[in-house]
Amino acid sequence: MENIETGLLLMVVGMTTVFAILLIVIYLGKGLITLVNKYAPEEVIVKKQTVTQAAAAQAGNVSGKTTAAIVAAVSMVTGGQGKVTKIEKI
């Protein structure tokens, strides 16, 4: 019976220690994220020319509505990461 009590005691102490360390890691991580966002914010990238204007300048024979539709489709499919640089009629 003494072995079971010792085993249970060790289990409770171990689980409590793991839980406390995980709480410390979580709160230190949240604090680090807050500090980084406060003192080193993400740089804002200024675009010289919008994607629609660049595509319209390169479009040539393609109408403005078609160019806008192509740019919107590329933006939607790529999640805003894609960029239309040239449109050619085939």
Both tokens of 31, joined, read: 């604090």
Q: Is the pLDDT of residue 42 over 90?
A: no
Cα distances (Å, whole numbers) of residue 40 to 27, 33, 37, 44, 77: 19, 10, 6, 12, 31
Task: Give residue 54's pLDDT.
Answer: 54
If you average pLDDT over residues 31-51, what whole number do you get? 78
d(CA 35, CA 27): 12
Task: Give residue 48's pLDDT.
Answer: 58
Residue type, 52: T
Q: Is the pLDDT of residue 47 over 70?
A: no
